[in-house]
Every structure is written in structure tokens, then in C-alpha cells.
Structure 1
Amino acid sequence: MRQLQPDTLIKNPLGRPVVSSVVIACSADELWAVVGRFEGFDAFIPALARISMTGSGVGSLRKKWFHDGNIVVEQLNSHDARTMHMTWTTIYNTLGVARLWAAMGVESLEGQQARATWTIIAEPVDARDKKGFEQFIQDFADSALDNVRRLLG
């Protein structure tokens, strides 16, 4: 009998990063209080019906239910409130995403402004629709950060 070896289905995605960014007239702390809450993305993504958390801090799981019936489960990989940066990985979804890694960061700018930057690297289940998939991811992130601007602007 063959000896079992450690394995995993979680793999980092390959591809071109999709980057969305927004500059808002507020402090970096105010901006991080919105986009830096892993459990609070429903505050600026209206498509989310609700979020539930399993655990807290790095390693916790976020389950997102969308109004259209889709579900996404993600794991928080890193979270640093001091540097205002976090990363996460999708481990299950019904959206047609094979693999997804994301980062959210906030930086302070001159003139009482701050920038939030959301970086996403993702692969579609159907590789034939890579261009449409990347545009979907870009539009989703841009819309979410535009909602942040409306909340804080």
C-alpha cells in the first residue's frame, strides 16, 4: 500500500493582478476602519446579503452570502492594523472562480487624504473566458471601492 503524503487543494492563483484604488478625503484610520474589517465588507458591497465568521484573526474563515444566492468562503491569511494591510484566499465559491488571492491596503496621503488599494489575483474555472472574467473582477472591485468613497466622502 502506498503511504499517504500531505496534500492540499489550496494553491495560489497565477495571472495578472487586478488592482482597484480609491483616494478619499479622510484619515487613513477612518478608511481602514471600513476596508480593514474582514468581517465587514457588507458595509460597502451591496450585493452581499450577510457575512458570518468562524474564528477571529489570522486563519479565520469568512462566509459571504450574496443576494443572488452565490456563496464564497475565504480564509484570512494576514492582517496588520499597524501597517493597514491584509490578505485572504478564497477556499470555496459558487461564482466560477477556480482560485483567488486578494490584498487590501490603506496608506495616508498629504492633504488629509488616504488611499485604499485592493489587489486581486484570480483564475476562472473556465479558462476560455479569462478576459471577461478579469473585467468582472475589475468592475466588482471598482464598484465596491466607489461605495467606500460614497460612505466616507
Structure 2
Amino acid sequence: MKPLQPDTLIRNPNGLPIVASVVVDCHATRLWNMVGQFAGFDVFIPDLTHIEMTGTGVGALRTKFFRDGNRVVEQLNSRDEQAMHMTWTTIYNTLGVARLWAAIQVKSLGAQCSQVTWTIIAEPTDDANTGFRQFVQGFVDSALDNVRRMLG
């Protein structure tokens, strides 16, 4: 009998990136202080009731609780406070997502103008899920629209 070997279910997704980006009339630091808080996405995503964190910093897990009863568990992969970007991976969800990697980045466009870009690469659990990309795009567009309204 062959000895057990290291294995994992976590794989990076394949596919075309889904990108949402908005320009906000505020300083980049103010924008980053909202979208760069891994534990704080419920501030600008109304579909979330709350977020529970396990751990802090890179490697920490967040569980996002949705109003419709869905849950998503994600791990923070990287975060750079100075460069104002972070990445994360979904490791469990009830939304029909097989694999998901995401990044959010803030850039200064001037003293009182900045841009946030949210990039997602995801695979649905069901290959026949034709509305998946549109659903994800609509979700991130709506979230960043809220950010612009709240800070702009």
C-alpha cells in the first residue's frame, strides 16, 4: 500500500478576469480605508448581514453572511498597505462557485481623486451556468457603485 501524500482541494481558477472599476472623488487613503478592510466588506455590500473573522492578517479567514442565507468563506492571500492592494481566495461557499480568486487595488489619481479596481477570476460549479459571469459582474459593479456613492 502506498503511503498517503500531501494533497489539497484548493486550486486557482481558470478563466477570463471579471473587472469592475470606479473613480471616486476622495483621497486614495480614504478609499483604501473602506475597500481595503478584509473584515469590512459589509459596509459597502448591502447583501451582507455581517462578517466573522478567524485570525488576522495574511492567512486569516472571513465568513461572509448574506441576507438570503448564503455563506462564503475566504482566505486573505496577500495585503500591502503601502501599495493599497490585497488578494483572497474562496475556500467554501453556498453560491455555486467552484473556485474564486479576487484582488482589489486602489490608485491615487490626484489629491482628491482615486480609483478602485476589483478583479475576480472564478469558475462556477455547473458548466452550464450561463448567467454566472453576468451575476459576478453585476455584484462587483453594484458594490463599487455603493463605494462611490458613500465616499464621492
TM-score normalised by the chain length of structure 1: 0.98
Query: Deviation digits for residues 73-132 of structure 1, max 9, x if unmatched?
Result: 000000001000000000000000000000000000035200000000000000112x41
C-alpha separation in 1, matches of 2:85 and 2:110: 19
Contact 2:60 2:76 in 1 (8 A): yes
Q: How does 1:81-120 map to 2 (within 5 A)?
A: 81-110=81-110, 112-120=112-120
Q: Which piece of structure 1 moves more, 81-90 or 106-115?
A: 106-115
Q: What is residue 144 of structure 2 aligned with on the other side?
A: 145
What number of residue pairs does the alignment pair up? 152
Structure 1: give runs of 5+ residues left out of the alignment: none
Aligned partner letter, 1:144:
A
C-alpha separation in 2, matches of 1:38 and 1:97: 20
Structure 2: give runs of 5+ residues left out of the alignment: none
**SS of the residue aligned with 1:39?**
coil
**SS of the residue aligned with 2:23?**
strand
Q: What is residue 122 of structure 1 aligned with on the other side?
A: 122
Q: Which piece of structure 1 moves more, 81-90 or 109-118?
A: 109-118
Residue 11 of structure 1 pairs with residue 11 of structure 2: yes
C-alpha separation in 2, matches of 1:43 and 1:141: 14
Q: What is residue 53 of structure 1 aligned with on the other side?
A: 53
Percent sequence identity is 67
Aligned partner letter, 1:84:
M
Query: Deviation digits for residues 11-64 of structure 1, max 9, x if unmatched?
Result: 000000000001001000000000000000000000001100000000000001
**SS of the residue aligned with 2:5?**
coil
C-alpha separation in 2, matches of 1:91 and 1:2: 28
